[in-house]
Amino acid sequence: MKSTLTKVSALLFGVTILLTGQGLQGTLIPTRAALEDFSTVTIGVIGASYFLGFTIGCLRGGVLLRSVGHVRVFAAMSAAASVAPLILGLWADPWVWVALRFLTGFCFAVLYVAIESWLNASASNETRGRVFSVYVFIMLTVMVLGQLMMLLYDPRELELFVVASILVSSGLIPVVLSRSEAPQKPHIVRPNLRRLFEISPLGATSCFTAGLTNGSFLTISAIFAAQVTGNTDSAAWYMISGVIGGAVCQWPLGLLSDRLGRRRVLALTALGAGVVSMLIVLSVSRISELSLMLLGTLWGGMAFPLYSVAVALTNDHVGHAKYVKVSSGLLLLYGIGAVAGPLLAALVMSALGPGGLYLFSGAVHLSLFGYVGIRTLKRVPVQTELRSDFGEALASAQTASDVYETDDDDEGLPDTA
């Protein structure tokens, strides 16, 4: 394991720098958009355009990799992704922002594919789960670090956009200079969404639900926090609290699902996120900043692990060789949800005020909780000894490269819950 991490250390260092810049943009874009008096619906469209670009990048980026290779694609996507924040900072036009966020989403999807292909090629079957666990930990950690950088400068000025651009372009340097061998050109897989719902209706529905609510949080929660507290600094701290909650609870809830069963933990997370959402709705007019941060942490702790547990649930019903194929489709479902979620949440928030964001979240999560109950009555859960390992599910759940890593067909995928 140590030798594997040493071999990919340059890649992981580049990822750390690159995704710090991405984390900064995640809070900066909606905050600056609100300061420019963009409507909540417009901000939702801007957020949705990022996830639309990301989803298309996951599906089509492999064509670029097969055409010109990983190194050239990585360099081109990093350059394009570093130009985007500079234009955003110079030109505050909503439709320009929609186009640039779409471009950024596409670029980062292809960058993830290139990075993860390198990690896959460098890891063995025995170390892959642990390598990708380190990768996921880095992703969550630098997201927090990037959001903290919001506090360095006034979001009304250009400096933060310049910092984001510098970080994204600097992340390219250790990757292109890495001595790790570039991976083979990927096979392109066409995920079969209809088949996924036949294999595991609950797993597929849960992944789509996670996209709806997580995409809404990542796009609009900064606006929610700023409106509730009247302080733009609170937007960064609030998003950080949610991400920290998700990072802290990811493994404990996953391991709990190994012991108690996926459906029980899915029910727990859906109910927990729904209840916390409703508590926020009921207290939004009189809540203190500290209480808001605590509730944000609780919400993140329940909502963010839901996706990985749903992937593990689906993987329980297929063979090990099918994990990548299945996870690629679940990732696509998550992306579709993340496109729709910000749009729907923004509409509710525009009609009902800031609490509308969590009214939407509560309705979605509590509906999922009810659906878990229905599926539990209809199907017998997988026996403990037949469950997949959560570490492998976490690795496959987070990787955009899954869309390209195999050309397996759908034979051998059973119909189940």
Percent of the chain with pLDDT over 70: 80
The rounded distance, in Å, linking the Cα atoms of 29 and 161 is 9
What architecture (CATH level 2) is domain 192-417?
Up-down Bundle (1.20)
CB 341 within 8 A of CB 220: no
From-to residues of CATH 1.20.1250.20 in the chain: 1-186, 192-417
pLDDT, position 187:
62
Q: Confidence band (pLDDT; 50, 70, 90) for 46?
A: very high
**131 vs 59, more confident:** 59
For 175-227, what is each residue's pLDDT tens digit?
778 776 666 666 655 667 787 788 889 989 999 999 999 999 999 998 999 89
Highest-pLDDT range among 124-128, 279-283, 372-376, 411-415? 279-283
For 355-381, what is each residue's pLDDT tens digit?
999 999 999 999 999 999 998 877 655
Between 289-303 and 201-229, two packed helices, what is the crossing angle to 10 degrees?
Answer: 170
Q: Confidence band (pLDDT; 50, 70, 90) for 133?
A: low
Asked if residue 407 has pLDDT above 50, the reply is no
Q: Which long-range contacts (CB under 8 A, 24 or more apart) does 162-165 make?
A: 162/85, 162/86, 162/89, 163/21, 163/24, 164/21, 164/22, 164/24, 164/25, 164/28, 164/85, 165/21, 165/82, 165/83, 165/85, 165/86
Sequence-ordered list of residues with C-beta below 8 angstroms from that of 383, at least 6 positions apart, any chain:
none
**Can you count the helices (H) and strands (E) in the chain?**
17, 0
pLDDT, position 323:
53
Residue 135 one-letter amino acid: Y
In CATH, the number for domain 1-186 is 1.20.1250.20
